[in-house]
Structure 1
Amino acid sequence: MTIKTFDAFSRLSIIDINRITNFLYRYSGEFRDTKSAIRKSIMYAAKEIPGLGGYVFVVEKNNEIVGATVVNRTGMNEYIPENILVYIAVKEEYRENGIGSELIKYTKKYCDGDISIHINKDNPVIKLFEKQGFETKNIEMRLVRD
């Protein structure tokens, strides 16, 4: 299994951005965000919109995406982790093959500094992250303004 890495230096094409957006939207399960939000996180990671950037990690088999992760850099440390793992998804038929674990291991190895992830408290993927050493530290509360 090869994980492709994209960042500000190894640019994503618009076609790739659309492919990854559609993949993450389709395979993020019931807790997914809008396509627009997913696309923005990818554009931020690839520095196609202003910001510190980040990373997009993609696993393909026969030119088809089977797993993907998006990490955005925060520019902070100590009080907020330097990296936020924004999205991770694996195509259903590959979920028992360890691709999710490999993507998390690769993210931990590749990213300097601490990494956080926001997970819905009812999402069963929490167990996968706990196995990879992630711990519950805080509860996020949001005031959403429409």
Structure 2
Amino acid sequence: MAENDSVQYEIHTPSNHQQLNRDKVLDFLFQHLDQYGDAREDIAKCMDYALSDAEGKGGSVIVAREAGKVVGALILNNTGMSGYIPENILVYVAVHGSQRGKGVGKKLVQLATETSDGSIALHVEPDNPARHLYEKMGFTNKYLEYRLIR
């Protein structure tokens, strides 16, 4: 567990997630992803994928807590690929409004980059202010993304 002032950070992986309060972290992400979020059940699928030890799955869930309360969370999924597709995708990162601008988001992303192997992809809406943090941390805008939604 890493510490940043009064905020403590927990890294949960497929082999080490017994202490994770899944529902509290899901509720936190659903509430604090704001307009950049997804349905709770989609966030749950992403978390279950990250914590799965099945072949080709896995990743990590990193949680920031202050006085036991969740103040930030991140989900990183392994893609099971490499080379043409990055090995990891940072799917969700959210910080409580009272903690924004205090380094919690930066520390969550830093821990994700330090504890994962290979490259990391990240999808960011053009108007998301966190975009600047990702750029400062070395993420680059390599492609435009198009989707066919069915």
Q: Which residue of 2 aligns with 1:116?
A: 121
Q: What does 1:1-146 align with in structure 2 at a 5 Å threshold?
A: 1=3, 2-12=8-18, 16-47=21-52, 51-145=56-150
Residue 7 (structure 1) shift:
1.1
Question: Of Structure 1 and Structure 2, which has the larger fraction of its residues in helix?
Answer: 1
Residue 51 (structure 1) shift:
4.6
Which digits, 9 at most, give the CA deviation of each residue in 1:25-65, with x for residues without a partner?
11112111110111110011111777511100001111110
Residue 86 (structure 1) shift:
0.5
What TM-score, normalized to structure 1? Answer: 0.92
What TM-score, normalized to structure 2? Answer: 0.90
Local SS of the residue matching 1:96: coil
Q: Give the Cα–Cα distance (whole angstroms) in 1 for the partners of residues 15 and 96 of structure 2.
A: 27
* 4+ long deviations beyond 6 Å: none
Residue 125 (structure 1) shift:
1.2
Q: Equivalent pairs: percent with the same residue?
A: 35
Relative to 1, partners in 2 of residues 1:50 and 1:64: Cα closer, same or farther, differing over 3 Å?
A: farther
Q: What residue identity is the alignment partner of 2:145?
A: E
Local SS of the residue matching 1:97: coil
Cα RMSD after superposing both structures: 1.6
Residue 11 (structure 1) shift:
2.3
Count of matched residue positions in the alignment of Structure 1 and Structure 2: 144
Q: Which runs of 5+ in 2 are unaligned?
A: none
CA contact (8 A) 1:74 1:81 kept: yes
Q: Give the Cα–Cα distance (whole angstroms) in 1 for the partners of residues 56 and 85 of structure 2.
A: 16
Q: Give the Cα–Cα distance (whole angstroms) in 2 for the partners of residues 76 and 102 of structure 1.
A: 26
Deviates more, 1:41-50 or 1:113-122: 41-50
Q: Which runs of 5+ in 1 are unaligned?
A: none
